[in-house]
Chain A
Amino acid sequence: MLKGAAAKKGSATVLLVLFLLATASAIVVLKAATDRVVRKKLPGSSIIYIPSGKFLKYATFGYGTLAADVVYLWAIQYYSTPTIDDRFDHLDHVFAIINELDPRYQDPYEVGAMIAVQEARDTRAAFTILDRGAANNPDQWVYPFDAGHIALMNLKDFPLAEKYFAQCLKIPGAPAFVERLRANAIFKKGDLKTSWETWLDIYKRAPDERTKKIASNHLYNVKATIDQTALEDAAAKYRERFGRLPADIRTLVRTGLLKEVPKDLDGNDYVYDPATGKVTTVISPWRR
């Protein structure tokens, strides 16, 4: 009888354990079933309740930099998950939080801008992030540089590129080649006079032969472009007046349409094609 009691108690425990196993398996099965059901998601709703960075800064009680790290780590995973289709909807918001929590954390600015440009195809967000980076870190030349680069290569917005490169040059430590990028941007935007002056300035201050050569090539190019334009304009005017293209450049000088025969920077003549009225240089500016 007493053994029976012990057995009963033991059997109650066994039953209990079996019950636990049964419910545990039910849990696993039900979770799998619930996972399979596809729930409608709001675009960007996966992070719909993330508050602003300013608020988070206070809420993290002085652990702002650690929080920035955590959020950044999460963001990297999040943005490299291709299955979340709407992940770029709050790109700037997310990086704003990271930047707000730790304004001196440099990687997120660059990486955020890169994600914006390469993956989200949202250059506006990229500029917002980089501007913030520049504002929070006035000693870092890389942010206006990146911005200028995006403007130059992706947007082909040359005035914007020039503005950013100029901003970059104001920061001590900015590399020399930024000057050349700026000069090139000025050229590309069409302001040939300023472009010439800028390149001339670079040429005069060139610290080594290589830079001098580059500057010289660009100067050649600028002059060639100026001359080219003038010559072709004159040729077109000649055709208007005389009904046909001139035979050579000297004809233009004789008829007063041109003051003198322009020479390229090396002192050579330009090559004129009487059939088309187009002018080219005798040598490529980059092979001099």
Chain B
Amino acid sequence: MADAIRIENLQKSFRIGFIPKTREILKGITFSVREGETFGYLGPNGAGKTTTIKSLLGLIHPDAGTITIFGRPHSSPRSREALGFLPENPYFYDYLTGREFLAFTADLFGLCREEKAERIARLLKLVGLERAADLPLRKYSRGMLQRAGLAQALVNDPKLVVLDEPLGGMDPIGRKEIRDIIVRFKDEGKTVFFTSHILQDIEMICDRVAIIVGGRIVKEGGLRDLVSEKVLFTEVTVSGVPPLAFAGLGESISAQGDRVLLRVYGEARVDEVVRLVHDSRGRLIALSPRTETLEDIFVDTVTRT
């Protein structure tokens, strides 16, 4: 399958200050996003996530490197015909109504009148802004602006959707809605590229991730490849067995009344704990293996770099 995005050796420095001091932001970024996949772009603040996205969109001119979008060079405006973008904090023309704003966006894509009307109606329904469509944007709440932003990113029914921190600042219900929409993109065959700090959400929906630290990609790969199924430890909750019985087998994390929560390292030990419980006529209440999460990987990678 073709690459939706292909970035090779992207470099960018900025000259800041009156006596120009050069700060290297991107030191040679290389990664690609395959068509149809949902790709998460992670990194600590200041690593260069937003700079990468802005370079992709043509807002910033790279010092070196190449970027292609569906095979087209990113410098040509045509490369953005099938692209939809939602910025981190949506800033729109506050004197336009939601509907007018979407109509304007449709004009920028050159949609004809029938297409325009149909699409605007559909999008307003999708993001739940039908009732607020004729209010000026300056009257919208943060959540509503986010939805309007999502709607404008979808006006051209894009093959590639680029989202910068789409889940930030929303309440859990809002986050769920957005997550559902992103999953829907995946079903529709759209490619999704987004940055986020909320690693649990990334774990839930991404196919591949890249971690950028200090202007360099330090980890890239499929989520399943990076996050091993390796079990770190198993949490066992038992009752009816005195905690001392487990000495040497597991750590007692907490004891409440009759119940004991143990942390057991190693599969062999888990088996022993289970046998012990069975032999002591106790009760095994819960057994949950705890695997490596993305957060573990992220923290580990960042602190190591």
Residues of A in contact with B (beta carbons under 8 Å apart): 1-2, 4-6, 8-9
Contact = CB atoms under 8 A, between A and B. Distances in A.
Nearest to A4: B73
Chain A residues touching B, majority SS = helix
B75 interface: yes
B66, B68, B71, B73: which has the most chain A beta carbons within 10 Å?
Answer: B73
A2 B76 contact: no
A12 to B, nearest CB: 9
15 contacts: A1-B71, A1-B73, A2-B66, A2-B68, A2-B73, A4-B73, A5-B73, A5-B75, A5-B76, A6-B73, A6-B75, A8-B73, A8-B75, A8-B76, A9-B75
Interface residues of B, number: 6
Nearest to A5: B73
Nearest to B73: A5
Contacts of A5: 73, 75-76
A2 B79 CA distance: 13
Interface in B90-146: none
Contacts, number: 15
Nearest to B71: A1
Contacts of A2: 66, 68, 73
Contacts of B76: 5, 8
Interface string B58-69: 000000001010
Given A1-B71, A1-B73, A2-B66, 12 more contacts: A2-B68, A2-B73, A4-B73, A5-B73, A5-B75, A5-B76, A6-B73, A6-B75, A8-B73, A8-B75, A8-B76, A9-B75
Nearest to B8: A2
| 7 residue pairs, one from A and one from B, having the closest CB atoms | A5-B73, A2-B66, A9-B75, A5-B75, A2-B73, A5-B76, A2-B68
A6 B66 CA distance: 10
Contacts of A1: 71, 73
A110 to B, nearest CB: 52
A137 B75 CA distance: 73
Nearest to B6: A2
A9 to B, nearest CB: 5
A5 B75 CA distance: 7
A124 B235 CA distance: 114
